[in-house]
């Protein structure tokens, strides 16, 4: 059906609503996996206790390691366990699906829509992230704070900065996962790339060990990567341990986000020009 000039402009004006609607539906979709969500939160909590045992020993042997005190280290553990899924440190269902759609050719349907590919999937991913943040983000922290003496931000400015830092972290993580998924336009099987991305993400985000503990040049390199912007930086804002203050921490995240968004936009336009859909 040909769209008249009038209808097109009407569409464009309504686009923000469309993305909002996609996000809301994605949120609802993830809210149907109840048992999976509960067992995931349980596993996060078990890992939280194991890591606390490890970090208590580590910080007992070296008090003040990496500028963290014991309360910082324990709070790091429970924040991290709550944020792994929302941020998508191990990858997320949504972007894995995107990769599969590129592989199978179903991506053609997405390209046919009068929406922007990157923004469409960004909305889907944000819906997922917000659900997992709301339901899974706080559960381990709650359990942890019942057992251990944890740190919480004391003033509204810090809370606001934490919220902004978290959203930026999720966005940075999304753009990386989006680029990995789109790599399927060039290499047909993205599973190898996804595995490689998983290694980099776990190592440089502070998931296997807080980045403040990384010694020497490895530490400096790790703290400058975009993965640091996904987990370590928001957690440091929460703890009030951002090395150069909250402002530069947020700027660091924003800088990486802009670079990655630009790369994402560029990749999208190159990929869509390259794509050949098999008729049938």
Partner 1 sequence: MVERLRRAPAQYWMLVLMWIRSSLAYPASFVLMLASSMLITVMDFVAIVLMFSHIESFGGFTLGEMALLYATASMTLGVADLFTGAIERVGERIRTGTLDVYLIRPVPTFLQTAADGFALRRIGRPLQAGVVLAFALSNLQLEWTPAKVVMLVLSVITGSIIFAAIFVLGAAFQFLAIDSAELANSFTYGGQTLTQYPLSVFGKEIVRAVTFVIPLAFVNYYPVLYVLGKPAPLGLPSWIGLLSPLVAGAMVALASLAWRGGLRRYRSTGS
* Measured distance CA(195)–CA(8) in Å, rounded: 41
Instruction: Kindly identify the residues of this chain, within the stretch 4-33, that bind partner 1 according to CB under 8 A.
Output: 33
Q: Supply the Cα-derived Rg of the chain in whole angstroms.
A: 20
Stretch that binds partner 1, among 120-128, 194-202, 257-265, 270-278 (CB under 8 A): 194-202
Stretch that binds partner 1, among 112-120, 137-145, 154-162, 209-217 (CB under 8 A): 209-217
The only residue of 4, 6, 13, 61 in contact with partner 1, by rule CB under 8 A: 61
| Contact by Cβ (8 Å): 148, 140 | no
Pick the closer one to partner 1 by CB: 81 or 94: 81
Question: Does 1 sit near partner 1 (CB under 8 A)?
Answer: no
* Measured distance CA(240)–CA(158) in Å, rounded: 8
The only residue of 29, 31, 47, 263 in contact with partner 1, by rule CB under 8 A: 47
Length of the chain: 280
Size of site (CB under 8 A) for partner 1: 36
| Contact by Cβ (8 Å): 260, 179 | yes
Residues near 210 by beta carbon (within 8 Å), at least 6 away in sequence: 66, 68, 73, 76, 232, 235
- Min CB(193)–partner 1 separation in Å: 9
Question: Does 244 sit near partner 1 (CB under 8 A)?
Answer: no
For residue 160, the SS3 value is helix
- Min CB(13)–partner 1 separation in Å: 41
Question: Does 214 sit near partner 1 (CB under 8 A)?
Answer: yes
Question: Does 104 sit near partner 1 (CB under 8 A)?
Answer: no
* Measured distance CA(234)–CA(80) in Å, rounded: 10
Question: Does 58 sit near partner 1 (CB under 8 A)?
Answer: yes
């Amino acid at each position: 059906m040909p769209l008249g000039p009038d209808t097109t402009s009407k569409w464009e004006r309504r686009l923000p609503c469309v993305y909002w609607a996609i996000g809301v539906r994605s949120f609802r979709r993830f809210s149907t996996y109840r048992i999976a969500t509960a067992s995931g939160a349980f596993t996060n909590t078990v890992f939280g206790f194991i890591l606390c045992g490890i970090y208590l020993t580590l910080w007992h042997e070296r008090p003040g390691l990496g500028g963290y005190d014991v309360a910082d280290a324990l709070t790091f553990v429970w924040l991290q366990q709550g944020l792994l899924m929302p941020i998508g440190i191990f990858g997320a269902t949504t972007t894995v699906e995107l990769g599969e759609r590129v592989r199978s050719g179903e991506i053609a349907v997405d390209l046919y829509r009068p929406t922007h590919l990157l923004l469409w999937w960004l909305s889907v991913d944000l819906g997922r992230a917000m659900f997992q943040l709301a339901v899974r983000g706080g559960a381990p922290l709650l359990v942890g704070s019942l057992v251990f003496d944890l740190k919480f931000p004391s003033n509204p400015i810090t809370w606001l900065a934490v919220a902004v830092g978290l959203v930026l972290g999720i966005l940075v993580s999304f753009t990386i996962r989006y680029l990995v998924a789109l790599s399927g336009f060039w290499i047909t099987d993205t599973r190898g790339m996804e595995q490689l991305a998983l290694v980099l993400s776990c190592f440089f985000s502070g998931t296997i060990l807080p980045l403040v503990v990384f010694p020497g040049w490895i530490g400096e390199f790790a703290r400058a990567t975009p993965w640091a912007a996904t987990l370590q930086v928001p957690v440091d804002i929460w703890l009030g341990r951002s090395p150069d203050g909250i402002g530069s921490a947020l700027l660091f995240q924003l800088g990486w986000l802009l670079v990655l968004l630009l790369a994402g936009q560029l990749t999208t336009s190159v990929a869509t020009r390259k794509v050949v859909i098999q008729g049938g």
